[in-house]
Amino acid sequence: MSIAASLKHAARWGGLTLLLSLPLSGWMLNGYQVTTTWHRPLWLAGGVFVGTLLAMALARLLEMPPLRKLRWRMQTKITVTRRPALPAWEWGVLLTIAATLPLWLSTYWLNVMILALIYAVLGLGLNIVVGLAGLLDLGYVAFYAVGAYGYALGSQYLGLGFWTALPFCALLAATFGTVLGFPVLRMRGDYLAIVTLGFGEIIRLLLNNGTEITGGPNGLPAPAPTLFGLELTRVAGQGGTPWHTFFNVTYNPNLRAVVIYMVLLAFLALLFFCVGRLQRMPIGRAWEALREDEIACRSLGINHVTVKLSAFAMGAAIGGIGGVFFAAAQGFVNPTSFTFFESALILAVVVLGGLGSSGGVVVAALVINILHELLREFSDYRVLVFGMAMVVMMIWRPRGLLSMRRQFFAVGKNL
Amino acid sequence: MNAEERRLLVLEGVRAAYGAVPVLHDVTLHVDRGEIVTLIGANGAGKSTLLMTLFGQPRATAGRILFSGQEMTALPTHRIARLGIAQVPEGRRIFPAMTVEENLILGITPLTAREQEDPGLRAALLEHVRSLFPRLWERHRQRAGTLSGGEQQMLAIGRALMSRPRLLLLDEPSLGLAPLLIRQLFAVLRRIAAEGTTIFLVEQNANQALRIADRGYVLVNGRIQMEGVAADLLADGHVRQAYLGGH
Ligand SMILES: Nc1ncnc2c1ncn2[C@@H]1O[C@H](COP(=O)(O)OP(=O)(O)O)[C@@H](O)[C@H]1O
Ligand SMILES: [Mg+2]
């Protein structure tokens, strides 16, 4: 694309953002008058404009002769062509918009978004187990609980902070995943579903009844995350300085949610990227092959034990991280958050989104959570509506909202 | 090379069973480097079981299996595949939801990690499959489950060849194919052998198999009943009677 065309393109996106954000955040009701505040929409539009330009410049840079040469260094007749679902600059736009949401969303909707992103993370994790490896896990909530309680208990007994809890709980949950994986190595389908269902319930009951350690039904507090050693709460609870004291600004109760949202968004983006890579790596292909035909896999030299366990462990680790975010966002954990219904909901996210499709899972997580909030007034019928939506979806798009795309190889033209 | 060194695959007194039911009784046979050897036998004779036993599923209950002089009787299945033996299993067993080339790429799993990551090697291997099966390559982006039976068989063979095996095992590749396709398939097998891959071919289609093979074995109820040069077996009265429809 020429520079003029790029500018036009970026301007179009910026204009669109302005158009969209003006009614959402630019007009304010002041008494009986509507006042127009331009600065927020303008900032947003400017951000999108610059972001688009940068993303396109980056894409162009990769096409430049030296880098291009590097990309085509392996001159062979057959080349790997990767066609991402969206081009790079569209990703830039999406991420920029997502990152600016806290500027104009209310606290309430910001918390809804946090929950939606947590579900997206959980969906991506479960997608590895169910969508890729084809192991129907109905107890995925167990790993979510392990992560959440790992953080709450860790901070209470070991003085664990949010940032150390992330890898710690991922490892802890992965260990649980492996422990579950061993006995079910020879199981598939219905039998596997029943055992994992039981496993999920066992974890929840342990948490509920281990009153001395876990606080039982009363639950446990979970501290807010810290940012570079600064605390986001009104008074310091973890031995640091509160953020507003350090910078000498007024206390903003929203800050906790904003920080969690941003970290979560960054993690989701990273996870999305990593899962995409994993799918193209030998281990990802082995997961899928295992789903398709275990005997053929073994005759191809795939060690089904390690492949299965790695799918369980990887899925569990991601679930554990989702749990840490959940605990940090809620500030509190108790067993009622980890019932079978949660497992079913996460599975619904995966199936609705499209088994194996990361993009679909993220979209489904957003749709389900936002729908859930919009239907709050009909809360008695929510599950009913939800079930009907599911049935309609399965008739209309049996492969999910965005069905999985497959990479392919093409015979190179220019070589 | 003496006889010992020429042996690529050796089975000595191999027995195998499913639970308490014995299927193979003292099977002794060998495949030399560069040969095409065929094993023919009626339905239920134990041909598939023999190929599966090579991969340890079920495991031999007695006897020894040697590959290139190395004992592999007790190796885990996935390690056997890495010795340089590739299997085209009965019924093809391709991965239906994955594309043709994803199926092919999965075939490189037995190679070392370094070889697997070498894009030049990968391209060369794909190119090889393309040259053997141009019709298959035309469908390389298609889901494998949507291929015709013949194409699926080509895919299964291509997938096995992706690991550059020294020994290729095939279990009834002609099953369910039209006569014209069968002839083409056997021509390709000949070509693969000419390129230096040793072939051990299990077939019910004894006529065609014996025509491309150097030597043959006849399996009856889990026992080797006859063995010899393929042309001799083809001319043998008993074999004609039992497996070639008497003409
Ligand atoms: N998985 C199995 N479990 C039990 N018995 C089996 C199994 N597979 C094959 N058999 C039995 O082993 C015998 C040999 O079968 P097979 O090796 O498939 O014969 P072929 O391939 O020569 O037709 C048959 O009697 C068959 O019923
Ligand atoms: Mg058979």
pLDDT above 80 (res A402): no
Ligand 1 pocket mutation pick from B15, B18, B221 by most atoms within 8 angstroms of CB: B18
pLDDT above 80 (res B224): yes
Cβ-nearest to B123 among A78, A289, A293 = A78
A151/A11 same-domain check: no
- For residue A394, what pLDDT is reported? 78
- Taking an 8 Å cut-off on Cβ atoms, the answer to whether B109 and A296 are in contact is no
DSSP A303: -
Ligand 1 atom 2, closest CA: B18
In a domain, residue A194? The reply is yes
- For residue A406, what pLDDT is reported? 59
- For residue B222, what pLDDT is reported? 93
Q: What are phi and psi of A98, to 5 degrees?
A: -60, -40
Task: Give the distance between the most distant pair of CA atoms in chain B.
Answer: 53
Structural domain that includes position A27: 1-46
Instruction: Tell me if A356 sits within 8 A of A127, measured CB to CB.
Output: yes
Instruction: Tell me if B49 sits within 8 A of B1, measured CB to CB.
Output: no
pLDDT above 60 (res A169): yes
- Taking an 8 Å cut-off on Cβ atoms, the answer to whether B78 and A304 are in contact is yes
Give the confidence band of A73 by pLDDT, cuts at 50, 70, 90. very low
Q: What is the ipTM of this complex?
A: 0.83
Least confident of A58-67, A400-409, B115-124, B146-155: A400-409
- For residue A232, what pLDDT is reported? 72
Domain end: A30, A46, A62, which one? A46
Please calculate the CA angle A215-A219-A225 and round it to the nearest 5 degrees: 120
pLDDT above 70 (res A120): yes
In a domain, residue A131? The reply is yes
The number of C-beta contacts closer than 8 angstroms across A and B is 91
Average pLDDT of the segment spanning B60-87 = 93
**In ligand 1, which atom is closest to the CA atom of B50?**
17
Number of domains present in the structure of chain A? 2
Tokens read off for A351: 């199936």
Contacts of A304 in chain B (CB under 8 A): 78
In a domain, residue A410? The reply is no
DSSP assignments along A365-384, one per residue: HHHHHHHHHHGGGGGGGHHH
Q: Which residues line ligand 1 (CB under 6 A)?
A: B 18, 21, 23, 41, 43-49
- For residue B3, what pLDDT is reported? 80
Residue pLDDT, tens place only, A229-249: 677 776 666 666 776 667 767
Q: Is B62 on the interface with A (CB under 8 A)?
A: no
- For residue A405, what pLDDT is reported? 62
Cβ-nearest to B89 among A291, A296, A408 = A296
A337/A248 same-domain check: yes
Give the confidence band of A252 by pLDDT, cuts at 50, 70, 90. confident
Give the confidence band of A414 by pLDDT, cuts at 50, 70, 90. very low
In angstroms, the CA B38 to CA A54 distance is: 64
**In ligand 1, which atom is closest to the CA atom of B222?**
14
Interface of B with A in 172-231 (CB under 8 A): none
A27/A158 same-domain check: no
A130/A193 same-domain check: yes
- For residue A413, what pLDDT is reported? 39
Average pLDDT of the segment spanning A355-362 = 88
pLDDT above 50 (res A145): yes
pLDDT above 70 (res B160): yes
Average pLDDT of the segment spanning A80-85 = 50
> Is A124 or B236 the better-scoring residue by pLDDT?
A124
- For residue A92, what pLDDT is reported? 83
Residue A42, burial from CB neighbour count under 10 angstroms (0-12, 13-18, 19+)? middle
A206/A350 same-domain check: yes
Distance from CA of A285 to the nearest CA of B (A): 7
A233/A133 same-domain check: yes
Average pLDDT of the segment spanning B211-231 = 94
Q: Is B12 on the interface with A (CB under 8 A)?
A: no
Give the confidence band of A34 by pLDDT, cuts at 50, 70, 90. confident
- Taking an 8 Å cut-off on Cβ atoms, the answer to whether A409 and B87 are in contact is no
Indicate the residue type of B41.
G
Say whether pTM exceeds 0.95.
no
Query: Which residues of A touch chain B, with CB atoms under 8 Å apart?
Result: 74, 76-80, 282, 285-286, 288-289, 291-293, 295-296, 298-304, 406-409
Please calculate the CA angle B102-A307-A141 and round it to the nearest 5 degrees: 110
Tokens read off for B74: 């007790």
Helices (H) and strands (E) in chain A, counts: 17, 9
In a domain, residue A213? The reply is yes
Average pLDDT of the segment spanning A258-285 = 92
Cβ-nearest to A408 among B77, B95, B99 = B99
A35/A112 same-domain check: no
In a domain, residue A134? The reply is yes
- For residue A67, what pLDDT is reported? 58
A34/A164 same-domain check: no
Find how far residue A247's CA is from the centre of its chain: 31
In a domain, residue A263? The reply is yes
Indicate the residue type of A223.
P
- For residue A72, what pLDDT is reported? 46
Residue pLDDT, tens place only, B117-133: 899 999 999 999 999 99
Ligand 2 centre to CA of B43 (Å) is 7
- For residue B83, what pLDDT is reported? 93
Contacts of A298 in chain B (CB under 8 A): 55, 57, 77-78, 81
Q: Is B120 on the interface with A (CB under 8 A)?
A: yes
For chain A, what percent of residues have pLDDT higher than 90? 36
Average pLDDT of the segment spanning B101-108 = 93
Closest ligand relative to B24 C-alpha: 1
In angstroms, the CA B141 to CA B147 distance is: 11
Least confident of A143-147, B160-164, B202-206: B202-206
pLDDT above 50 (res A78): no
CATH number at residue A286: 1.10.3470
Contacts of B116 in chain A (CB under 8 A): 282
Instruction: Tell me if B144 sits within 8 A of B96, measured CB to CB.
Output: yes
A257/A173 same-domain check: yes
Give the confidence band of B247 by pLDDT, cuts at 50, 70, 90. very low
Ligand 1 centre to CA of B135 (Å) is 33
Give the confidence band of A74 by pLDDT, cuts at 50, 70, 90. very low
Q: Could you give all domains of chain B from N- to C-terminal order, each with its CATH number?
A: 33-60+72-243 (3.40.50.300)
Which of A70, A72, A77, A300 should one mutate to test binding to chain B, selecting the residue with the greatest count of B CBs within 10 A? A300
A16/A129 same-domain check: no
Give the confidence band of A64 by pLDDT, cuts at 50, 70, 90. low
Ligand 1 centre to CA of B27 (Å) is 15
Average pLDDT of the segment spanning A117-145 = 95
* Closest CA relative to residue A371, chosen from A356, A340, A393: A393
- Taking an 8 Å cut-off on Cβ atoms, the answer to whether B98 and A78 are in contact is no
User: How high is the mean pLDDT of chain B?
Assistant: 92
- For residue A411, what pLDDT is reported? 42
Average pLDDT of the segment spanning A371-393 = 80
Closest chain B residue to the Cα of A79, Cα to Cα: B123
Ligand 1 atom 21, closest CA: B48
A118/A229 same-domain check: yes
pLDDT above 80 (res A173): yes
**C-beta neighbour count of A29 within 10 angstroms:** 8
Average pLDDT of the segment spanning B234-246 = 76
Instruction: Tell me if A365 sits within 8 A of A117, measured CB to CB.
Output: yes
Residue pLDDT, tens place only, A284-315: 999 999 999 988 998 898 998 999 999 999 99
Q: Is B245 on the interface with A (CB under 8 A)?
A: no
pLDDT above 50 (res A410): no
Residue pLDDT, tens place only, B25-63: 999 999 999 999 999 998 999 999 999 999 998 999 999
A35/A153 same-domain check: no
Contacts of A301 in chain B (CB under 8 A): 78-82, 109-110, 163
In angstroms, the CA B175 to CA A384 distance is: 50
- For residue A79, what pLDDT is reported? 46
